[in-house]
Structures are given as structure tokens and as C-alpha cells.
């Protein structure tokens, strides 16, 4: 056990004791040590290098049928007493109309490849060099590249869940994300390209690959034409495919569905996508970007099918939302704070109660090779990047994204040249129902803190040029 | 608070050789309550304190935060902030320079009548449950949602130039939302009440009335007609819609880091880079960013670089006048820094952010605007934005609209969005009301890692031309 985890365990044990002494029926301490190192690149230079080391505890308590929560970053005994009092005071106000108890201890599985000592202990000077290598690779790819901006985030975390039932579940992980946006210029023509990926190990950081791919997209867009507004067959490459899966993740969280995005609420056991679409959540996947042995309330992870051949099979649950609907937790508790003005970093946060959410979701690969999907498309579009993606009507499913870069015409099975900035405007259900091809390999893609394993998918959507 | 530790951090990093150091020692308290359909979804109290140390070494920025304020941890954090800046400086061809500013030594507080901590959490929750209940004005309301956030922040800023600023802030807001349904038609309406100050805002405003009005509005939209697409229509935009419009097409593109292309890989750039002094809109278009407005969500007197807040003139009578700056971007543009830097907590490096961005006043009355419009639309209350990366092409939906025929409001419309090109729209503005309003807008995102911040936005009623999109 690392010294930081020993410190955390000590604080957790203290909290549970204080809670018991105060007469609370149950208590659960979620303890976190989360380190984030960010190297931000701007205008072909290192713009800022910044680090965070956040240590703290989130506490849930149950008294009768009342549930409370509070958190603190101060692990002194005085502060921990205050923490228990605050959690108890929020409990007084929150009476539950159903029986609720924290999870009981269960056997914890193992997950390989989610922690890399080398990544966790990477000296900051090395991280700066790795980040800058992306710029050099992009600049070296083509002389038309004039500008680069991007980021390298390295996260290492340890968490510990302790509760009154004897749960003592630990997670330890490392994570990185690398992204670069390149700008190419020729005469008056300006074009952008980007590439982003993420992973768990130092070995997976490939700055040259990221830099070159971003540059390639930027240069390829220098000669671009305006598209005609129409409904197209569209091939969603890895990053936009993650954009679609991300929204599905929100929609299958009963909390988010009930509060904000109700699109799937009345669609359980109904066909919501074509038979090509099977969505799996597998937090046991070795090296998975969202993989871990336990969820954020100590429930063992398991693989599950959420959408099976287009039919919505289930919503995902933590213990609380499970209790509301008289269902068992599916091991999908995550702690994320969506609160404004409150810290929320990549990695782990202790200042929010668990919410149910898919942890390592992906669309099950199909039979097609990526190139085959393009070859078998007579007329359509290849979309390599989404930007500013929104579910503008979360009840109806209106869906929009700016196709800012990486948009190409596909003609007779070939990529036939870049297209100018456009906007996708359609309905998410239509997009899912029109999926007719899924590629055979999972690749890690995403952007701005949102990464997943994904194949590419082909569907249909309405696309209009942006003047 | 352990103020000495901030001074220690500044002194220690300076001794290591940093050219500039600042430390932000902060203590945060926040409350969050979410109630939906009578059920409490969240009831949370969070506390966090710690320090962020920013260093400038050989012209490169370094930053490290810590939640452990003992001397050893602070020393270690200062050391990392120094070391990482030094390592970065190898790849900074143009060293950062800071525009000079006065070294203020001051202390100030947000005016608070009723401290949020002096009201029992239980009592607040009871009130919020009641306000959520009032949203259910009939069975047609299928979902009610009340989300309350309260923040108390004590911060001490110290830098190696001698600035020492203490600020105690208190902010809160409550969003009330009702979703209505009849057959296959679903609609929603939402109202946010908030300010910088104490819990008195919920005593001053009749929250039950606001809840009932929100529920009734959501119901009435079920009877409204779906809007039809109309190109280049005359539109009168109300304060609420204008708040989101000014946020998206004036506020964000006015951030100097964005103008310099520094946000290109994230939120984007701006179409008006290099156009300072150029006419980009009609004489009716004036816009400001002003942190020093008491009671607003964007209120502060000194930013997170210790620069004294002032009203920034962004657009004046259609001419692009200036941007929001950090000390660094002010030096690049050769202007005075204007207090644009903020971070949501000590764990983040500050960024250039909006405070209260709003369109300036005109001399019309709202009634006159409508009376003098033969055919047009009154567009009311913001909904969702979708804006391109240069803030050039914009589409923003509204909760509702009314047709204007021969100077009178006629048909009630729903499912409406507007779209236009920013300069085209700015040039089309031909009337602006005298009365302006700055509204709370919690939830403005920027940065990597993302910082979700609270701002104020608004302005007058404003008349211009845009394309109406009937949302399918």
C-alpha cells in the first residue's frame, strides 16, 4: 500500500468511527488522491504547464431513511468532525421514500493494464518534451503547417471506498490524453486538422503519430469545396463516432435521463437503433480507458450489453438509482461533479455523490474493414471530426454538430476531396436507426476529456454548409 | 486562513529564481440541491481549501496547486511550479511579458444580508421542494426540476510585485424548469434567479410566483403554433434571449487569448481578429464587459492577477473597440490590462473570462419597438446555442416567440430558432431599448481542464434581422 493510500485509509477509518459515534446508521467514505499534469501547447510553443494534486474525502451517511453527503479537502480530525456534521445536516433534509443501504462487500475482479508506474512517475520535464514532440512532428510533416495547439494531460489517481458494511475497495490508475490541432496555410487558403487519443500507459503516448495525423488533416483541407445542403450517407470516423456514443451514455443514465435528457425514458426494450448497433459497457477490458476493478462505490465491475442489435436492453445503475427503481446496482457508479464553480478534473473527484453512468462504453465492432466502408460508399461524406456537438432537443433527439474540419466527399468508393465547414443537423434516433455498417476494430479516440474505444460507423444525416 | 503560507510560497519560488510568482489561497464552501418531481436528487455540502502557485520562469508559465497547506507541501508545490516553468521555457520562443499594473493592497466583500450558512440546510431544502412543487400547475407538467447552487469563496491573492488582495464572495442561483406534454408534443420553460449576495434574493423575489409562472408558460407552449422558416425576418429579441446572444457572439470572441488563436484547439478562434477600429455593426451596437456591477454573478473588483476591474468597451456604435485581457495579452496588444483573468478555484490557472457582458442601451421603449414593426417576431428567452468556432455563424433557439403583425403581438409560437452571420446581424440592428438588464448565466465553459464559471449577460431589447428556423 502506498503512503498516500495509508494516509487516506487512516482518514477514512476516522470518518467512519466519528459517524458511528454520532449515531449514524451507515457511513461511506470515498477517498481520493488525484494528480493531473497538463502541458498546454499554443502557437507552436509550450503555453503553460500546470499541476494539481487534489486529496480529499466525500462522505455519504444514512440515518433511518435519510441520506446525506458532504466533502472536504482538509483531512485534519477537526475538519473530519465538521464533515460528518455537514453530511448529517444534509441527511436531515433528505428523506427517502424507499429503503436504501450502501453496497455490501463482494469479490473484486482484477483488471490488467490500467496503471503504469512509468506514467505516474514521469518527470514533468519529460512530459514537456513529449508534448512538444507533437508540434515538431506536425511542423515536420509539411511546410504548409503554420500553427499548432494542443494538450498533454497525464493523470494518476488512487481511490479507496470504505463503508460501514466492511467494503474496502481500492482503485489505482493512470491515464493520458494527447491532442493536437494543426493549421495549414497556402496563399489565402487556411485549413485545420486535429488528432487526439488517450490511453493508460506511457508506451501508448505517440506524439509523432498525433502530430502527423493532425497535420495531414490540415493539409488535406487546403483545397476544399462548399457542399450542397442535403441528406447524405455519412461515414463517422473514430472521433465523431465517440461523439455519438457519448450522448448515448448520457441517455442510458437514469439520473441524467430523468433530469435532463429524457429521449430514451420510454424506450426500454424498444428498437432505438439499427441491428448493426450493439453497445457494450466493459470496465473489465484490459487497458480500457474507462476500465477499473470496482466502480466509485466499491461494486465490482462487470461487462454488460446496453443496446443489443438496436434494442435498448437496460439503463445502468448505481446503488442509489437502483434502489429508486427497485433494481440492483449494475456497478456503474461514477463520481463526477457537474456543478458550476466547483473543481472537476480528469481522473477522480470526491466532491459529488455517485451517479449512474457507463464506464467503458463502446459500440461492438462489426465485420467491415474501415477502408471497405469507404470503398462501398457510392456517394457520401467522410466526417473525421465533430465540434460543438449538442442534443438541442433532449426530448425529441434533435442533434447538431459543427463539421469544422476533416470533412470530405466520398464518390464511387473513394475520398474525393475536402469540403468546407458545414453543420450536421438531424435527429439522434434517425442517425442510430440508419447505421448500416460498423468497422471491425476498436480505436481510442475522442476530444477534450471525453475518450472511448470505438469503431467507425456509417449512417445518414442532413448536412448544410456554413456560410 | 493561513495567509502566511501564500506569502511563503511567493517568497520561496522567487528565491528559486522565478521572475514572477503569484499565489491564490482560497477557501470554498458550496451547497447544491436538486429536486425533481418532488424527490430530492442531491443535497450536498462541499468544502475545499488550498493554494495555487503560478510562476513565470525565463518567460514560461508554470503552475501547481495543493490542498495540503503545511509548509512542506507548499514548498514542494512552489518547487514544482518553478521546475515545470523552467522546463517549459526551452520551448517558448517568445518569452511572456506582463503589462504593468498597480500593486493593490486591499480587502473587499460582496454585500450579504442573509448568509447562506445561517439558514439551516433543511429549511432551504423545504423551500426548494415547495418551489419545485409549484411548477406542477397541471397534469400537463410531466417534469419539474429545481437546481440550487450556493457558493462562498474567501480568497487571498499575493504576488511577487507586492500585491495583497482579499476578497470574500457569496453567490447563489436557482433554476426552475417545467416540462410539459400533451400527446406527442413536449415543451419546456425555465427561469434562473441568481446574484452575488446572500440568501435574501429568495426573500426579495416571489419564488412561488416565479414557479407558477414557469409552469404556466410550459403549459401555454403546448398550445402555441410551431414556427415556420422565414428568411431575413425582422426580429425583436428580449433581454433573456439577448443574454445568450451577447455571451456567444460578443463575449467569447472578445477574449484576447481567443483573438490570438490560443483557444484554437478547444473552443475556437474569432472572426474579428485584427479588426480593432473597424466598423462591424450598425451605430446601435455597443457592448461592454463590466465586472464591477454589484449583485451580478460576474461581480469582482480585482481579477485573479490582481488587476483592478473596469468597464471594458468591446464595441462602440458598431466599431470594434477592444478585447478582454490578461496582463500577458495586454502586453502583446500594447494596451492596459483590464482585469479579465479568472479561475473557478485555486486548482486552476486563471484564464481570460467574461464577467458581465452586455449590449449597451438605446433610446427606444419596448412597446415602441413592437408598435413600429409591421411584420416581424418577438423572440423570447434563450434555449440552446450552436455556434461555429469563429463565432461567425450562429444558431440559437428560443423558448417561445410571438408573431408581430401591424405593430401588435399576435400568434404565440414555439420550436423556434434564429440563425445569422455575426457581422450581417450586427449591421442589421436598427433599434435598441433604453432599459437594460443583466441576467445570471451560470455555466460558461472554457479551458483544459474545463472550468465551468458563472457570469452575467444581458442588455436591452434589440431589433434586427435574422432567419427564423422552424425547428422540426
CATH of A3-220, one of 3.30.2290.10, 3.40.50.1820, 3.30.1950.10, 1.20.140.150: 3.30.2290.10
CB contact under 8 A, A73 and B121: no
* Predicted confidence (pLDDT) at residue A1 exceeds the cutoff of 80: no
| Cα dist from A340 to A92, B274, B287, whole Å | 25, 33, 25
Residues of A with Cβ-Cβ distance to B179 under 8 angstroms: 262, 395
Cα separation, B341 vs B302, in Å, equals: 9
CB contact under 8 A, B44 and A352: yes
For residue B387, the model assigns a pLDDT of 87
Percentage of the residues of chain B whose pLDDT score is greater than 70: 99
Contacts with B72 (C-beta within 8 Å, 6 or more apart), sequence order: none
Q: How far is A192 from chain B (nearest CA, A)?
A: 9
* Residue in chain A lying closest to B342 (CA): A341
Structural Rg of chain B based on CA atoms: 23
Q: How far is A395 from chain B (nearest CA, A)?
A: 7
For residue A123, the model assigns a pLDDT of 95
Contacts with B316 (C-beta within 8 Å, 6 or more apart), sequence order: B286
| Chain pair A-B, CB pairs under 8 angstroms | 261
Cell numbers standing for residue B98? 506582463
Helices (H), A346-417: 370-375
* Residue in chain B lying closest to A391 (CA): B384
- In whole numbers, what is the pLDDT of chain A averaged over residues? 95
Q: How far is B182 from chain A (nearest CA, A)?
A: 13
Q: How does pLDDT run across A316-326, given as a tens digit for each residue?
A: 999 999 999 99
CB contact under 8 A, B449 and A344: yes
CB contact under 8 A, B61 and A49: yes
Q: How far is B376 from chain A (nearest CA, A)?
A: 24
For residue A395, the model assigns a pLDDT of 87
* Residue in chain A lying closest to B383 (CA): A392
Q: How far is B287 from chain A (nearest CA, A)?
A: 25
Interface test with B, best of A4, A38, A52 (most B CBs within 10 A): A52
Cell numbers standing for residue B372? 413600429
- In whole numbers, what is the pLDDT of chain B averaged over residues? 96
How much is the ipTM here? 0.92
In DSSP terms, which residues pair with B143 in a beta bridge? B179
Residues of A with Cβ-Cβ distance to B80 under 8 angstroms: 51, 124
DSSP A404-425: -S-EEEEETTEEEEEE--EEEE
Q: How confident is the model at residue A2 (pLDDT cuts 50, 70, 90)?
A: confident
Burial (Cβ within 10 Å: 0-12, 13-18, ≥19) of residue B118: exposed
Percentage of the residues of chain B whose pLDDT score is greater than 90: 92
CB contact under 8 A, B45 and A89: yes
Q: How many helices (H) and strands (E) does chain B have?
A: 10, 23
* Predicted confidence (pLDDT) at residue A67 exceeds the cutoff of 90: yes
Q: How far is A59 from chain B (nearest CA, A)?
A: 10
Nearest residue, CB atoms, B66 vs list A47, A49, A53 = A53
Nearest residue, CB atoms, A93 vs list B36, B43, B392 = B43
The pTM of the whole model exceeds 0.90? yes
CB contact under 8 A, B347 and A351: no
Residues of A with Cβ-Cβ distance to B48 under 8 angstroms: 56, 71-73, 343, 351
Q: How far is B357 from chain A (nearest CA, A)?
A: 18
* Whether A103 contacts A165, CB under 8 Å: yes
For residue B268, the model assigns a pLDDT of 87
* Residue in chain B lying closest to A392 (CA): B384
Q: How does pLDDT run across A335-360, given as a tens digit for each residue?
A: 987 778 888 888 899 999 999 999 99
Residue written as grid cell 466502408: A373
* Residue in chain A lying closest to B34 (CA): A259
Cα separation, A158 vs A31, in Å, equals: 8
Q: How does pLDDT run across A384-430, given as a tens digit for each residue?
A: 999 989 888 888 899 999 999 999 999 999 999 999 999 999 999 99
SS3 A44: coil
Residue from A278, A50, A177 nearest B64 by CA: A50
* Predicted confidence (pLDDT) at residue B471 exceeds the cutoff of 70: no
* Predicted confidence (pLDDT) at residue A93 exceeds the cutoff of 90: no
| For chain A, domain boundaries | 3-220, 223-244+364-467
* Whether B316 contacts B286, CB under 8 Å: yes
Helices (H), B165-304: 201-204, 207-223, 239-246, 256-259
* Whether B128 contacts B33, CB under 8 Å: yes
Tell which A residues from 299 to 338 touch B, by Cβ distance under 8 Å: 324, 338
Nearest residue, CB atoms, B87 vs list A128, A343, A398 = A128
Nearest residue, CB atoms, A47 vs list B124, B262, B383 = B262
Q: How does pLDDT run across B317-340, given as a tens digit for each residue?
A: 999 999 999 999 999 999 999 999
CB contact under 8 A, B388 and A92: no
CB contact under 8 A, B471 and A393: yes
Q: How far is B315 from chain A (nearest CA, A)?
A: 23
Q: How does pLDDT run across B80-97, given as a tens digit for each residue?
A: 999 999 999 999 999 999
Residue from A173, A180, A171, A179 nearest A201 by CA: A173
Q: What are phi and psi of A201, to 5 degrees?
A: -125, 155
Inform me whether the C-beta atom of residue A262 falls under 8 Å from chain B C-beta atoms.
yes
Q: How far is A320 from chain B (nearest CA, A)?
A: 10
Nearest residue, CB atoms, A73 vs list B49, B94, B389 = B49
Domains in chain B and their CATH numbers? 3-223 (3.30.2290.10), 226-470 (no CATH)
* Predicted confidence (pLDDT) at residue B351 exceeds the cutoff of 60: yes
Inform me whether the C-beta atom of residue A89 falls under 8 Å from chain B C-beta atoms.
yes
Strands B408-414, B225-226: pairing is parallel
Cα separation, B287 vs B279, in Å, equals: 13
Amino acid at each position: 500500500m502506498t503512503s498516500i493510500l495509508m494516509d487516506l485509509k487512516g482518514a477514512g477509518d476516522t470518518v467512519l468511527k466519528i459517524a458511528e459515534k454520532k449515531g449514524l446508521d451507515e457511513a461511506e467514505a470515498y477517498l481520493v488522491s488525484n494528480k493531473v499534469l497538463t502541458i498546454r501547447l499554443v502557437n507552436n510553443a509550450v503555453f503553460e504547464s500546470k499541476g494539481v494534486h487534489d486529496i480529499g474525502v466525500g462522505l455519504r451517511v444514512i440515518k433511518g431513511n435519510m441520506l446525506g453527503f458532504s466533502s472536504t479537502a482538509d483531512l485534519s480530525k477537526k475538519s473530519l468532525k465538521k464533515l460528518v456534521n455537514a453530511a448529517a445536516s444534509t441527511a436531515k433534509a433528505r428523506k427517502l421514500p424507499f429503503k436504501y443501504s450502501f453496497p455490501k462487500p463482494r469479490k473484486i475482479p482484477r483488471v490488467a493494464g490500467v496503471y503504469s508506474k512509468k506514467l505516474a512517475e514521469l518527470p514533468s520535464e519529460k512530459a514537456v518534451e513529449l508534448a512538444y514532440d507533437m508540434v515538431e512532428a506536425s511542423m515536420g510533416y509539411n511546410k504548409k503547417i503554420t500553427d499548432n495547439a494542443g494538450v498533454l494531460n497525464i493523470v494518476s489517481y488512487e481511490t479507496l471506498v470504505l463503508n460501514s458494511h466492511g467494503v474496502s475497495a481500492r482503485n489505482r490508475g493512470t491515464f493520458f490524453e494527447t491532442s493536437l490541432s494543426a493549421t495549414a496555410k497556402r496563399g489565402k487558403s487556411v485549413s485545420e486538422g486535429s488528432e487526439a487519443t488517450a490511453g493508460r500507459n506511457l508506451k501508448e503516448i505517440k506524439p509523432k503519430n498525433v502530430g502527423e495525423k493532425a497535420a495531414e488533416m490540415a493539409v488535406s483541407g487546403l483545397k476544399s469545396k462548399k457542399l450542397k445542403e442535403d441528406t447524405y450517407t455519412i461515414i463517422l470516423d473514430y472521433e465523431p463516432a465517440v461523439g455519438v456514443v457519448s450522448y448515448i451514455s448520457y441517455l442510458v443514465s437514469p439520473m441524467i435521463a430523468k433530469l435532463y435528457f429524457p429521449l430514451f425514458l420510454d424506450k426500454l426494450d424498444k428498437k432505438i437503433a439499427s441491428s448493426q448497433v450493439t453497445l457494450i459497457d466493459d470496465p473489465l477490458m484490459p487497458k480500457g480507458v474507462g476500465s477499473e476493478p470496482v466502480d466509485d462505490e466499491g461494486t465490482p465491475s462487470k461487462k454488460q450489453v446496453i443496446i443489443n442489435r438496436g434494442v435498448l436492453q437496460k439503463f445502468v445503475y448505481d446503488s442509489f438509482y437502483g434502489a429508486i427503481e427497485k433494481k440492483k446496482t449494475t456497478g456503474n457508479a461514477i463520481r463526477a461533479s457537474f456543478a458550476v464553480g466547483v473543481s472537476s478534473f480528469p481522473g477522480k473527484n470526491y466532491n459529488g455523490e455517485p451517479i449512474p453512468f457507463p464506464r467503458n462504453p463502446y459500440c461492438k465492432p462489426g465485420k467491415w474493414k474501415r477502408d471497405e466502408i469507404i470503398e462501398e460508399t457510392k456517394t457520401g461524406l467522410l466526417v473525421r471530426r465533430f465540434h460543438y456537438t449538442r442534443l438541442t432537443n433532449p426530448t425529441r433527439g434533435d442533434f447538431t454538430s459543427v463539421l469544422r474540419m476533416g470533412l470530405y466527399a466520398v464518390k464511387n468508393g473513394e475520398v474525393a476531396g475536402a469540403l468546407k465547414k458545414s453543420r450536421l443537423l438531424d435527429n439522434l434516433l434517425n442517425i442510430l436507426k440508419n447505421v448500416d455498417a460498423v468497422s471491425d476494430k476498436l480505436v481510442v479516440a475522442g476530444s477534450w476529456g471525453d475518450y472511448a474505444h470505438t469503431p467507425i460507423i456509417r449512417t445518414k444525416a442532413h448536412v448544410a454548409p456554413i456560410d | 486562513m493561513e495567509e502566511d503560507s501564500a506569502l511563503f510560497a511567493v517568497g520561496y519560488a522567487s528565491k528559486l529564481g522565478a521572475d514572477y510568482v503569484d499565489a491564490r489561497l482560497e477557501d470554498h464552501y458550496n451547497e447544491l440541491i436538486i429536486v425533481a418531481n418532488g424527490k430530492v436528487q442531491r443535497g450536498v455540502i462541499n468544502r475545499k481549501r488550498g493554494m495555487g502557485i503560478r510562476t513565470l520562469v525565463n518567460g514560461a508559465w508554470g503552475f501547481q496547486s495543493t490542498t495540503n497547506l503545511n509548509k512542506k507541501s507548499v514548498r514542494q508545490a512552489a518547487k514544482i511550479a518553478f521546475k515545470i516553468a523552467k522546463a517549459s521555457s526551452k520551448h517558448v520562443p517568445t518569452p511572456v511579458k506582463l503589462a504593468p499594473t498597480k500593486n493593490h493592497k486591499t480587502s473587499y466583500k460582496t454585500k450579504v444580508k442573509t448568509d447562506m450558512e445561517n439558514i439551516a440546510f433543511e429549511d432551504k431544502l423545504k423551500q426548494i421542494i415547495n418551489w419545485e412543487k409549484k411548477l406542477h400547475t397541471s397534469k400537463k407538467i410531466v417534469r419539474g426540476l429545481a437546481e440550487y447552487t450556493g457558493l462562498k469563496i474567501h480568497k487571498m491573492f499575493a504576488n511577487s510585485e507586492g500585491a495583497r488582495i482579499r476578497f470574500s464572495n457569496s453567490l447563489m442561483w436557482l433554476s426552475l424548469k417545467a416540462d410539459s406534454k400533451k400527446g406527442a408534443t413536449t415543451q419546456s420553460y425555465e427561469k434562473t434567479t441568481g446574484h452575488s449576495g446572500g440568501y435574501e434574493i429568495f426573500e426579495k423575489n416571489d419564488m412561488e410566483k416565479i414557479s407558477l409562472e414557469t409552469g404556466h408558460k410550459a403549459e401555454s407552449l403546448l398550445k402555441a403554433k410551431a414556427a415556420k422558416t422565414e428568411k431575413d425576418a425582422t426580429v425583436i429579441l428580449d433581454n433573456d434571449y439577448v443574454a445568450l446572444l451577447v455571451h456567444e457572439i460578443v463575449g467569447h470572441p472578445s477574449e484576447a487569448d481567443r483573438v490570438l488563436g490560443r483557444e484554437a484547439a478547444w473552443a475556437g478562434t474569432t472572426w474579428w481578429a485584427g479588426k480593432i477600429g473597424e466598423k462591424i455593426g450598425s451605430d446601435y451596437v455597443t457592448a461592454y464587459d463590466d465586472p464591477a456591477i454589484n449583485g451580478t454573478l460576474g461581480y469582482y473588483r480585482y481579477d485573479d492577477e490582481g488587476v483592478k476591474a473596469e468597464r471594458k468597451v468591446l464595441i462602440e456604435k458598431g466599431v470594434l473597440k477592444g478585447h478582454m485581457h490578461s496582463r500577458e495579452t495586454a502586453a502583446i496588444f500594447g494596451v492596459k490590462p483590464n482585469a479579465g483573468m479568472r479561475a473557478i478555484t485555486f486548482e486552476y490557472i486563471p484564464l481570460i473570462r467574461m464577467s458581465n457582458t452586455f449590449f449597451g442601451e438605446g433610446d427606444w421603449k419596448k412597446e415602441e419597438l413592437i408598435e413600429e414593426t409591421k411584420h416581424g417576431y418577438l423572440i423570447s428567452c434563450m434555449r440552446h446555442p450552436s455556434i461555429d468556432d469563429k463565432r461567425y455563424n450562429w444558431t440559437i433557439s428560443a423558448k417561445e416567440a410571438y408573431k408581430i403583425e401591424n405593430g401588435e403581438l399576435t400568434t404565440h409560437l414555439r420550436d423556434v430558432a434564429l440563425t445569422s452571420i455575426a457581422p450581417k446581424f450586427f449591421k442589421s440592428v436598427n433599434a435598441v431599448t433604453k432599459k437594460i438588464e443583466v441576467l445570471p448565466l451560470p455555466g460558461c465553459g472554457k479551458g483544459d481542464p474545463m472550468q465551468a464559471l458563472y457570469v452575467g449577460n444581458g442588455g436591452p431589447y434589440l431589433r434586427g434581422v435574422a432567419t427564423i428556423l422552424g425547428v422540426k
